[in-house]
A = this chain, B = another copy of it.
Amino acid sequence: MTSCGTKSGGKQPSGRDITSAVKILGIDPGASRVGWGVVERIHGSDPKAVSMGCITTEKNTALDLRLLTIYTAIDRILTQNRPDVMAVEELFFGKNVTNAMQVAHARGVILLAASQRGLPVVSYAPRTVKLTISGTGSADKKQIQRMIMRILHLPKPPSPDDTADALAVAVTHAYTNRFKEKRS
């Protein structure tokens, strides 16, 4: 597995008010790839990217071992970034229910990692995230990548799209400010 985390080059605003800063870990859960991104929202300023990455697991590895990989990586990300809240994309089950079931297993261990630390968890529907980030609920992955690059002042679109989607969930939370309002 890989958890290709990178630190963002975004500058910290001067005169930062620590008390009003909220660090949000956004998660885009998947069966073989889990995107993640940490965003800091400081009152009165744009959200800033802190770090981001994508946890990948091998499709032909047994599910229980893949879950262990995902849990271990999320636990390390929580230790390294110490977020105030986890924002996770809700599951969308279209035609491929079997795949959605595997994603739900992964989402389970991600929520567990948060609850073991007493971290609040909030959920956002994919459509809400797209609407918040791009103004349309039907935005495609490239649109989301471009909009996240622009919003977070990144040098290039976050890649893979799982990472961009995770940052999008975190930014959605930063914008809608529902801290502690809704769980899992």
Contacts and interface: CB of A to CB of B under 8 A. Distances in A.
B109 A101 contact: no
A64 B114 contact: yes
A137 B84 CA distance: 49
A58 to B, nearest CB: 13
Say how many copies of this protein the assembly contains: 2
A175 interface: no
A114 B91 CA distance: 25
A18 interface: no
B67 A112 contact: yes
B97 A105 contact: no
A68 interface: yes
The contact size tier of chain A is 20 to 34
A184 interface: yes
Interface of A: 62-65, 67-68, 71, 91, 93, 97, 100-102, 104-109, 111-112, 114-116, 121, 183-184
19 contacts: A63-B184, A64-B111, A64-B112, A64-B115, A64-B121, A65-B115, A65-B183, A67-B111, A67-B115, A68-B115, A68-B116, A93-B97, A97-B100, A101-B101, A102-B104, A106-B108, A107-B108, A109-B109, A109-B112
